[in-house]
Each structure stands twice: as structure tokens, then as C-alpha cells.
């Protein structure tokens, strides 16, 4: 009896147990809500104004890459680097020093971060430069040293073709890092190429030119640049009873100065909107974001349309990414940009292209819609500024036929609460 009662109660509870499944395919319009999601797509041609370009944000000295290129008609660029030495004496032991008599050799560690895989006979030529090079040094200042002070030449293709990527005669070697896509060069400079001049405190400076059958353009990573001396030091009977000079391998040195010089200098800014180049140029666009979209709609896609005033310039392999950022506050050229991946939109620019560039700026527009106190200002810049000579110029808002435009797809407010 008790079992029957329990089964009966259990059956009732099971039948009445909480269940929920209310989703059903819509058969419209009869059995759908009267309100519909209404999408509007419009091109706003006159909302962008007060646009301008500024240059000098990242200079050659600040660039993470040293650009060496020989692109006739576009750019001749040469990397320059200086390593400070140890002075005239070297610490042999805790209590003794010895005069540095000279260097047997030196070794330069150098990473080629970017090169055109279509370039053949890619060759690096090293020139001894005055140790006075600094950020004010120009291409013209170094014309002489680059003409008559060649100390070493390395054909990278030849080196790569050797067994183990090593040249046992010159002592050069290369490691191909397929993960980071870099060539790690270790180059030996002999006594003549690496002169340790005590009166200069052992400071040396070199310039790098690049050549190839074509497309000679590389980027050398600054950070791993290192110089390793192999010194001869006068022991004077302290560490060697016979008083013969001793060999010493001190710790390797990082660069004291690294930059690049190039010719021709960047063309002056005009009314077009330039992005990229060295020193890097940025363009600032002010957008009059319509209130009816900003306040009462949901933006699902926004595209900034820019018409190039000329094909994008640069080395063939130097396609680059243009980023669109918004700013914390609009104070003109020095407007601090918001560096947030979720509020950054990008477009890839192919060198030589003259097609209209479309940058999806949905994230930015949604950000502005969510916070109406923000300045509706866009900054266009290259993703890695001053790491290539690539530059694109767009028509500004003063060119009525080709002015920048904003294409917005948005959804009007759904008519909630209406039967």
C-alpha cells in the first residue's frame, strides 16, 4: 500500500517536474513578433573633417629595426652602429691590469629580421665609420666612409649554401630560425677589420650596405646586436711570468648607438593624409558621429573608406598594416592614442596598390557609442612605425570627389513592448 502510494506521488511529481523549452522556428508573419530587426546601411560622406597629417612620431634612431636597402629610385638606406670599447687597459686580475695591445679579431652578432625571399645574391658590406656618428649624422655625412672604408663583405646566399651554414675560411656562420623567421648571423672581423684603438677607448663604428640582384632590402633587429672582442693584453709579468701578451675574451658588448641613414629624405607633407614612412607619419581624422546612430542604434559594422592619392610606396616585400586608433583626448598632433587591441582596427596595405582602402572600424564606433564622452577622433598609423619605408597617402576631406567616407551598418532600436 505504501509502495503504491509512493509510486503514485512519484509519478505525479515526475509529470509536473520543472521543464522548459520554448524555442520554436518562426513562421512569419503569422506567428512571429510584430517587431522586426531593422538594419540600415548608409555611407556617410561628409562626417569626416579637420583631417591632417603629422610626422616624426618614430624616427630612425627609435626604430627597432635598422633598415638597409638599395632600391633605385625609391631609397638607399644604410645601417650605422657604434660599439664602445673597454678603454686602454684591461683588468687581468683583482689587483692587476694590462695595456690592451690590440685585437686578434672580433665577432659581430646580427639578426636579419626581414628580407625579400626573392632577392638573390643578397650581400652585406661593412664599412668602418667615424666613431663620432650620432643621431644628427646624415646620409651625406657618411658618403666618404661608405665609398672608401670597406672592411668586410658577406654574401648571405653563399653562406646559406655552405654545409652547416658555416664558412670555415672566413669564420662566418648563419643560423636559420624558422620559428621567428630570422637569420642569425655571426660574422668574424679579422685584425684589419676590427682594429682596437686604445686612444679611441676601443670604440668602433660600422656601416652596413646591402646589395642584391634585385629587391635589396633588409631589416636588422637592433636588440640582439652584439660585438665580441678577442683582445691581446700586455701581461707585464703579472699573469704570465714570461711577460708575453695574453689573449683575453671579454664579455660581448651591446651597441652604444644604432640607427640608419637614407636618401632621399622623406618628401615634405602636403594636404594628403600620409601614413607610414620614416620618420613615421600619422593622420588624424575627426568624425562627426551622427547622434541618431550613436544614441539609439546598434552598430554592427563600420568601414572607413580611404582613396589613395597615389599607389602605396615601399619595398616590394614591405606590405604593412595600417591601424586605426581612437584617442584619450584630442589635442592635435600629440593626441594620446588608446593602445587597446579590442579598440584597434586594421587593414593590410600592399605596396603598389591604388585601390580604395577599407578599414573595418566597427570596434571603434561601438566604443564611441558606448561612451559618448569620448573624442570621436581617429588616428591612422602604421602598426610597426619606422620599420619600413612604406608609405601611403590618401585624399583628404578637402578633395570632395575622393574624400574619406564612413560606411555604417546599424540596427535601429527594436520595438520592444509593442504587441
Query: Which residues here bind another protein, judged by CB under 8 A?
Result: 12-13, 15-35, 37, 39, 41, 298-301, 360, 362, 366, 407, 409, 411, 413-419
374 touches 339 (CB < 8 A): no
As to burial, measured by CB atoms within 10 angstroms (0-12 exposed, 13-18 middle, 19+ buried), residue 396 is buried
Q: How far is the CB of 45 from another protein (least distance, A)?
A: 16
Q: How far is the CB of 17 from another protein (least distance, A)?
A: 7
188 touches 166 (CB < 8 A): no
What are the CA-CA distances from residue 306 to residues 108, 302, 346, 380 (Å)?
A: 44, 13, 13, 11
* Closer Cβ to another protein, 26 or 144, answer by number: 26
* Closer Cβ to another protein, 40 or 398, answer by number: 40
Q: How far is the CB of 296 from another protein (least distance, A)?
A: 11
Please state whether beta strands 204-211 and 357-360 pair in parallel, antiparallel, or not at all (unpaired): unpaired
Q: How far is the CB of 301 from another protein (least distance, A)?
A: 5
The residues pairing with 212 across neighbouring beta strands, listed in sequence order, are none
Q: How far is the CB of 10 from another protein (least distance, A)?
A: 12
Q: How far is the CB of 43 from another protein (least distance, A)?
A: 10
* Closer Cβ to another protein, 9 or 175, answer by number: 9
* Closer Cβ to another protein, 153 or 413, answer by number: 413
* Closer Cβ to another protein, 25 or 400, answer by number: 25
CA angle, 313 then 315 then 317, to 5°: 120
205 touches 133 (CB < 8 A): yes
Neighbour tally for 79: CB within 10 Å: 28
* Closer Cβ to another protein, 29 or 268, answer by number: 29
- Give the integer Cα–Cα distance in Å for 69 and 78: 7
Amino acid at each position: 500500500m505504501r509502495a503504491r502510494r509512493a509510486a503514485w506521488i512519484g509519478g505525479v511529481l515526475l509529470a509536473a517536474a520543472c521543464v522548459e523549452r520554448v524555442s520554436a522556428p518562426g513562421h512569419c508573419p503569422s506567428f512571429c513578433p510584430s517587431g522586426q530587426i531593422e538594419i540600415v546601411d548608409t555611407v556617410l560622406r561628409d562626417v569626416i573633417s579637420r583631417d591632417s597629417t603629422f610626422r616624426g612620431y618614430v624616427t630612425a634612431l627609435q626604430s627597432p629595426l635598422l633598415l638597409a636597402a638599395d632600391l633605385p629610385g625609391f631609397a638607399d638606406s644604410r645601417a650605422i652602429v657604434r660599439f664602445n670599447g673597454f678603454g686602454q687597459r684591461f683588468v687581468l686580475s683583482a689587483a692587476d691590469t694590462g695595456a690592451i695591445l690590440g685585437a686578434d679579431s672580433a665577432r659581430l652578432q646580427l639578426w636579419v629580421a626581414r628580407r625579400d625571399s626573392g632577392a638573390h645574391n643578397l650581400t652585406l658590406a661593412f664599412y668602418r665609420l667615424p666613431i663620432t656618428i650620432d643621431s644628427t649624422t646624415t646620409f651625406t655625412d657618411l658618403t666618404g666612409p661608405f665609398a672608401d672604408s670597406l672592411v668586410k663583405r658577406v654574401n648571405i646566399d653563399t653562406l646559406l649554401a655552405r654545409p652547416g651554414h658555416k664558412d670555415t675560411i672566413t669564420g662566418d656562420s648563419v643560423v636559420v630560425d624558422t620559428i621567428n623567421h630570422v637569420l642569425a648571423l655571426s660574422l668574424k672581423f679579422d685584425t684589419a677589420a676590427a682594429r682596437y684603438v686604445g686612444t679611441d677607448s676601443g670604440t668602433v663604428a660600422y656601416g652596413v650596405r646591402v646589395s642584391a640582384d634585385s629587391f635589396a632590402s633588409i631589416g636588422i633587429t637592433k636588440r640582439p646586436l652584439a660585438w665580441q672582442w678577442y683582445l691581446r693584453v700586455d701581461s707585464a709579468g703579472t699573469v704570465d711570468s714570461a711577460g708575453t701578451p695574453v689573449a683575453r675574451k671579454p664579455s660581448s658588448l651591446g651597441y652604444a648607438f644604432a640607427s640608419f641613414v637614407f636618401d632621399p629624405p622623406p618628401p615634405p607633407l602636403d594636404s594628403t593624409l600620409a601614413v607610414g614612412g620614416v620618420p613615421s607619419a600619422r593622420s588624424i581624422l575627426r568624425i562627426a558621429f551622427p547622434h541618431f546612430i550613436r544614441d539609439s542604434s546598434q552598430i554592427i559594422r563600420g568601414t572607413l573608406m580611404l582613396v589613395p592619392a597615389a599607389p602605396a610606396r615601399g619595398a616590394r616585400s614591405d606590405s604593412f598594416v595600417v591601424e586605426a586608433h581612437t584617442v584619450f583626448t584630442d589635442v592635435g598632433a600629440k593626441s594620446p592614442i588608446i593602445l587597446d587591441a579590442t579598440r584597434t582596427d586594421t587593414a593590410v596595405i600592399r605596396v603598389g596598390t591604388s585601390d580604395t582602402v577599407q578599414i573595418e572600424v566597427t570596434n571603434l564606433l561601438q566604443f564611441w557609442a558606448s561612451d559618448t564622452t569620448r573624442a570621436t577622433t581617429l588616428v591612422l598609423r602604421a602598426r610597426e612605425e619606422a620599420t619600413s619605408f612604406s608609405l601611403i597617402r590618401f585624399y583628404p576631406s578637402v578633395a570632395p570627389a575622393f574624400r574619406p567616407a564612413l560606411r555604417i551598418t546599424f540596427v535601429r532600436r527594436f520595438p520592444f513592448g509593442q504587441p
